[in-house]
Amino acid sequence: MQDWQQRAAELYNGDFRPMFIGGKWCEARSGEVIEARNPASGEILATVPKGGSADIDAAVSAARAAFEGPWSKFTPFERQALLLRIADLFEKNWETLCLSDTLDMGMPIQRTLANSRRVLGMLRFYAGQAVAIHGQTLQNSFPGEIYSSTVREPIGVVGAIIPWNAPIAGSVWKIAPALATGCTVVLKPSEEASLTVLMIARLMQEAGLPDGVLNIVTGLGAEAGAALAEHPGVNKIVFTGSTATGQSIARAATGNLKRVSLELGGKSPVIVCRDADIEKAVPVAAMSVFANSGQICIAGSRLFVAREIHDEFVRRVADFAANLKIGHGIEGDTDIGPIISARQSERIEMFLQAGPSEGAEVITGGEKLTGEGFDGGHFIRPTVFGGVKDDMRIAREEIFGPVISALPFDSIDEVVARANDTPYGLAAGVFTTHLGTAHKMAHRLKAGSVWVNMYHAIDPVVPFGGLKMSGYGKEGGLEHMDAYLDTKAVWINT
């Protein structure tokens, strides 16, 4: 067993961690800082610069200079080699990256460690795509020898804004395809979790990334984030976060009509049919929400269960929830870590009160943990609500915490209609042993990803992204390359 405590003490000791602009490690022009706290204990891990619009200006200039200068000279094979070197360095430093993430945002270490396939796979998959970018030769209808073709070109300077709930995957998923296509990046991590993103930039610099190709500006959303979203020198914004912030980013982007991709919130349904394999479905349905303390965009927080098996199934999910170990993510056997901040915890507690006040019944959980082991942090007991109605707030609004709303259903047509009756469309899960039901549900559910007899599967080769108010644009797969490429038509009259 790793001595994570010892390694944690060596990693962060309250010192200042600079941000990364134009290949230089620097403080904010204002000199102000933000405290990075461990959400499990409240302890200050480090301070980071509180970047603002002047820092964003400098980062965008550096990204533009790199895009038009040294980076444009890199051949696709050189970009591929660089991405592969970055992947190797990440693999070598994987435990340190994961430890940093666990300390900075609370995700249990066993879960961060398990994400390596997804993150390293992303770097290696897009390394492959760097040498596979191609246009087409098109037969046109003009008489004579006039040739038409398309060329795929990098879109330019990309502004990336990410949330706090998965800093490693969240940043790498945006950076890797951008580098593969030849774009440059200004990334603003969440003010709640910047430290691992800064570590990622150090590794990329060590791997040989030219100055200015990746810039990290730490700071607040309303300041550094807003400045990046509206910056006229940015060609594309890729954003992951809440739907409300996504809307304001889309508005801010209109100034120079920059392209926008949005990965937003959700209220995803998990549907357990009468013929489901209950033994397999219980832990998966439970962890579809409780993983990362419910702080996951795809949380399957509306649990629809066929009425015949509803009470038994929900009781078993509640038993599973009650047996999860809650604690500091750094303890190797922790299943459920802390909530990121007091603000998020208060929001979840508001829903824990709204449920019973609207008539729902707490089957398990329903409270914040206090006392020994929980001091200074925010820990919410995994919660299952029964007696939920579709129009209750707990069944309609994204909670972003470890809270399941269980709802019985009587027929496939009915449950599909109810599952789709939400402004969101990020993900959905179905448990059935009937092939016809699996197909029917997969086609009729309005969600960007539908998992049958599984949940949470995300892979570099498979596109991921939402429908409706869960956003637009895909991450992962070949589709993600399109987010960073323009298509130019070339006509030649010989």
List residues near ligand NAD by CB under 6 A. Answer: 161-165, 188, 190-191, 221-222, 225-226, 229, 240-242, 245, 248-249, 263-266, 297, 398, 400, 426, 466
Scanning the structure block, which residue is given the tokens 């006509």? 491
Strand partners, 430: 271, 452
Cβ proximity of 226 and 57 under 8 Å: no
Q: How far apart are CA 60 and CA 37, in angstroms?
A: 28
Identify the residue whose tokens are 């249990």. 108
CB of 116 to ligand NAD, least distance (A): 19
What letter would DSSP give residue 13?
-
Does 27 qualify as catalytic in the annotation? no
Of 164 and 431, which has the nearer Cβ to ligand NAD? 164
* Residue whose CB is less far from ligand NAD, 149 or 248: 248
Residue 34: Cβ within 10 Å count: 18
Give the residue with the Cβ less far from ligand NAD, 251 or 325: 251
Is 274 exposed, middle or buried, given 0-12, 13-18 or 19+ CB atoms closer than 10 A? middle
Distance of closest approach, residue 192 Cβ to ligand NAD, in angstroms = 6
Closer CB to ligand NAD, residue 379 or residue 424? Answer: 424
Smaller CB separation from ligand NAD, 231 or 310 = 231
Which CB, 280 or 343, lies closer to ligand NAD? 343
C-alpha separations of 470 from 419, 448, 474 in Å: 15, 9, 11
CA–CA distance, 166 with 104 (Å, rounded to integer): 10
* Total residue length of the chain: 494
Cα torsion at 287, 288, 290, 296 (round to 10°)?
Answer: 140
Closest approach of ligand NAD to the CB of residue 98, in Å? 18
Residue spans of alpha helices (H) in 131-232: 167-181, 195-206, 226-230
Query: What is the per-residue burial (b if ≥16 Cβ within 10 Å, else e) of 176-186?
Result: bbbbbbbbbbb
C-alpha–C-alpha distance, residues 309 and 358, integer Å: 24
- 240/432 with CB nearer ligand NAD: 240
Q: Are 404 and 289 in contact (CB under 8 A)?
A: yes
CA angle at 101 for the pair 113 and 286, rounded to the nearest 5°: 60
What stretches of 287-367 adopt beta strand conformation (E)?
302-306, 361-364
Query: Are 161 and 188 spatial neighbours (Cβ–Cβ below 8 Å)?
Result: yes
CB of 81 to ligand NAD, least distance (A): 29
C-beta of residue 37 within 8 angstroms of C-beta of residue 340:
no
263 residue type, one letter: E
At residue 178, φ and ψ (nearest 5 deg) are -65, -45
> Which one, 230 or 335, has the nearer CB to ligand NAD?
230
DSSP string, 107-135: --HHHHHHTHHHHHHHHHHHHHHHT----
Contacts of 346 (CB under 8 A, 6+ apart): none
Q: Which of 263, 331, 361, 367 is catalytic?
A: 263
Closest residue by beta carbon to ligand NAD:
221
Q: How far is the CB of 120 from ligand NAD (least distance, A)?
A: 19
Nearer to ligand NAD, 226 or 481 (CB): 226
Q: How far is the CB of 289 from ligand NAD (least distance, A)?
A: 13
Q: Are 485 and 154 in contact (CB under 8 A)?
A: yes
The dihedral over CA atoms of 199, 201, 203, 208, expressed in degrees to the nearest 10, equals -160
Q: Could you tell me the smallest distance in angstroms from the CB atom of residue 249 to ligand NAD?
A: 5
Q: Report the distance separating Cα 401 and Cα 387, nearest Å.
A: 19
Nearer CB in complex with ligand NAD: 253/314: 253
Which of 264, 304, 278, 288 lies closest to 416, judged by CA? 304
> Residues with catalytic annotation?
263
